Amino acid sequence: MKRAFLFLTSLIVISAGIAFCAKSKEPKTMLYKVKNVSDVKELFPNSPKEIESATEHYIQTAQEAIDKIVAIPSEKRTFANTIKAFDDIEGLSDLALFAGIAEVLQYTCPNDAIRAAAHDALIKIQEFAVDALSNNVILYKAIKSYADNQAKNEQLSAEERYYLNKTMDDFKRSGLDLPVETLDEVKKLKKELASLQLDFETNVSSDNRTISVQASDLAGLSEDFLASLKKTEDGAFILGVDVPTFIMVMENCSVEQTRKALNAAHENRGYPANEKVLNSVIAKRDRMAKLLGFASFADYDLSNQMVESVDRAENFIAQLMEKAHVKEQQEFDEVITDLAPGVHLTDDGKLKIWDAAYAKNYFKKKHYNVDEQKVAEYFPMEKTVKGLLDIYQQFLSLTLKEVPVSGYWHEDVKLVETYDAKTNQLIGYLLLDLHPRPHKYTHACHIGVLPSTYAKDQMIPAVSVVVANFPKSTAHKPSLLKRKDVSTFFHEFGHALHALLGRTQIASLAGTQVKRDFVELPSQMLEEWLKDKEILKQVSSHYQTDEPMDDGLIERIVALNNFGSGAFLQSQLFYSLISLQFYKDGENKNCSQIYKDLYAQCKKNIAYDPEDHMYAAFGHLMGYGARYYGYMWSKVFALDMFDTIKKGGLLNPETGDKYVATVIGKGGSEDPNVLLHNFLGREPNQEAFLRDMGLNVQDDAAQAIVAQKIPQPVGAHI
């Protein structure tokens, strides 16, 4: 007995020793570094040299981890040592995290050399990921060996089983079952594509073309706006192609020539360089899809999505397009009854593209009595952000605290700590980079850096970055957000909350790592909050008087909800068709011709402009591939869900809890069809979406397209 006791005691000592050793090694990986606010800053390197050496080092350690998985004798494979180990590389390794960090720097860092180094690092990481992970036959065989043998008997959670099935499917979609020569070609194509995609994005983000105009060319724009513009040496005003400047000018400048020139600059970002890049991407993606056994890249791209097939996506688009045309025609007929002075229709009765936003804004101001610039006075940025955070705090039971920080890639960067209000547990950090500057990504986006997951069963704080381009405060006035800006903020915050709250055991399934045609659901749903009278009252506060918007203005804004919804839907479906057509069968595509044909087919009341090459800056053609339809697809579900939430109260924390527990909290660990069904308690339908858009609801056929058969519970078989 005594001896046994001693033996036990010594075991405890030894294991404590091992635990201590393991702990002392932890800080070497990035994952364990983030324990408090100042650690977050340390994630971001400050020099190209640091980026280069980190990339080399992280690639090497990832390779060692892969070698370790491969070296395990096949009879000793377990979920932990094979599949979870693979997930650790994919989702938690320094290399995986550094990819997010490099992406942030590539899109935001003002320093040219750092941006270039981040760009090179991303290319290297993506090439490594193709060679060593997604197309590594030896690794695939190791994982397949586990899937074919031990996985059949090992007790796995539903999430683990889902991940195993997904991993095997991803390997098959990478062509790992193909003969070696074919696989080699796929690998080569993937690498070339990774580099081309980055080129495309960089050609857009680094395109800072401007036009310079005289004060008289800026009639209709406010003094404040003029004061915010940079000037040339000889005193001319410089207009950039960043989104706030572009929208402000297109909606308000009464000088046609200025709108025309800025529109041409904006619609030619990335052109002509990206025409060539795009043609190459299309040809290589087509070739790759065919090698993998699909009819086209679009077929390949949609086959593992909610929508499942190109046919189904096209049906979805066609049915909505019919309704969009009807609504858009009504809107057009209304707007042309009172055209802004100086705006004339073309000979065939259409609006010129550079007149469209101006004519609509003119009509809106006059007949709906809503002047967006006046409305913006109720949305000073600081207060609006606070109001928005308050909404999330209430609905999602969170505590969001802004903490003063400095020393990030730019002084504009702000940091918000996110806590679970019930347990006071830190959930993660949110970095906000919200103002435009040269060489910064010109749209809004969310980039995940640390996933919402666990490391060795320990909850680790997630880190996310929201990038946007809201106007900056001037000496006399705070930054005033337009409704569109506020809506964009709600949208990107929706992604960020999905990333922070979607905590899963499997890192590669955390947060926003869901099917692409589902990922825009949480973000688009949060946009809907802004259409509610009570919420508008809560987040608005006039920058001079602190008064919320009065009831009359709120009523007029709500009445405006459907103004332009037909044109909006038409545009979204137009972009969806572009992305499908570009990637349907065929290596050699005449992008400009397809664009022109689809324009004529979709935009019935806006004249086609041969100088318009919008597709050369259409970044979604890279990351979203053929899946742009996913925005409207997921919006249909978002509206269905919003409708249900609204019935329980938009600030009702119980509904918020249910939303987190059944939808966003699950990240990508379950089929989205199942998540939707679990939240709604029924199959989703299009009714709320059609009603919200002011479209005809009485059409069963249109609703049926979304109704899904709920798949079998996941996990029983591989």
Question: CB-wise, 134 or 572, nearer to Zn ion?
Answer: 572
CA distance 671 to 714: 8
Q: Are 72 and 81 in contact (CB under 8 A)?
A: yes
Of all residues in the shown chain, the one whose CB is closest to Zn ion is 523
Question: CB-wise, 400 or 496, nearer to Zn ion?
Answer: 496
b/e per residue 677-700 (b: at least 16 CB within 10 A): bebbeeebbbbbbbebbbbebeee
Q: Are 156 and 79 in contact (CB under 8 A)?
A: yes
DSSP string, 465-496: EEE--PPPP-SSS--B--HHHHHHHHHHHHHH
**Rounded to the nearest whole angstrom, what is the least distance from the CB of residue 517 to Zn ion in the complex?**
12
CA distance 659 to 676: 10
**Rounded to the nearest whole angstrom, what is the least distance from the CB of residue 433 to Zn ion in the complex?**
16
**Rounded to the nearest whole angstrom, what is the least distance from the CB of residue 444 to Zn ion in the complex?**
8
Q: Are 387 and 538 in contact (CB under 8 A)?
A: yes
**Rounded to the nearest whole angstrom, what is the least distance from the CB of residue 27 to Zn ion in the complex?**
35
Binning the chain into helix, strand and coil, the percentages to the nearest 5 are: 60, 5, 30
Binding site for Zn ion (CB under 5 A): 520, 523
Length of the chain (residues): 718
**Rounded to the nearest whole angstrom, what is the least distance from the CB of residue 393 to Zn ion in the complex?**
22
Question: CB-wise, 354 or 628, nearer to Zn ion?
Answer: 628
Contacts of 658 (CB under 8 A, 6+ apart): 679
How many other β-carbons are positioned within 10 Å of the β-carbon of residue 406? 8
Question: CB-wise, 328 or 520, nearer to Zn ion?
Answer: 520
DSSP string, 235-303: SPEEEE-SHHHHHHHHHH---HHHHHHHHHHHTTTTTTHHHHHHHHHHHHHHHHHHHTT-SSHHHHHHT
**Rounded to the nearest whole angstrom, what is the least distance from the CB of residue 491 to Zn ion in the complex?**
6
Angle between helix axes 591-602 and 273-291 (nearest 10 degrees) is: 90
Question: CB-wise, 196 or 486, nearer to Zn ion?
Answer: 486
**Rounded to the nearest whole angstrom, what is the least distance from the CB of residue 524 to Zn ion in the complex?**
7
The vertex-327 CA angle with 323 and 329, nearest 5°, equals: 115
Question: CB-wise, 383 or 495, nearer to Zn ion?
Answer: 495
Report the half-sphere exposure of 359 (CA within 13 A, side-chain side). Answer: 24
Question: CB-wise, 314 or 520, nearer to Zn ion?
Answer: 520
Residue type, 526: L
Task: Specify the DSSP element, H or E, that contains 677.
Answer: helix 672-680
Q: Residue 84: which of 106, 73, 60, 68 has the closest Cα?
A: 68
Question: CB-wise, 465 or 553, nearer to Zn ion?
Answer: 465
Quick one: how far is CA 331 from the chain centroid? 30
Catalytic residue among 492, 520, 670, 687: 492
Task: Specify the DSSP element, H or E, that contains 331.
Answer: helix 310-335
Question: CB-wise, 140 or 618, nearer to Zn ion?
Answer: 618
Q: Is 64 a catalytic residue?
A: no
**Rounded to the nearest whole angstrom, what is the least distance from the CB of residue 446 to Zn ion in the complex?**
7
**Rounded to the nearest whole angstrom, what is the least distance from the CB of residue 482 to Zn ion in the complex?**
18
- The sheet with strand 414-420 has its strands ordered as 398-403, 414-420, 426-433, 462-467, 445-450
Question: CB-wise, 87 or 492, nearer to Zn ion?
Answer: 492
**Rounded to the nearest whole angstrom, what is the least distance from the CB of residue 60 to Zn ion in the complex?**
35
* Strand segments (E) across 94-228: 210-213
CA distance 435 to 599: 32
Contacts of 715 (CB under 8 A, 6+ apart): 156, 158, 161, 162, 165
| Residues involved in catalysis | 492
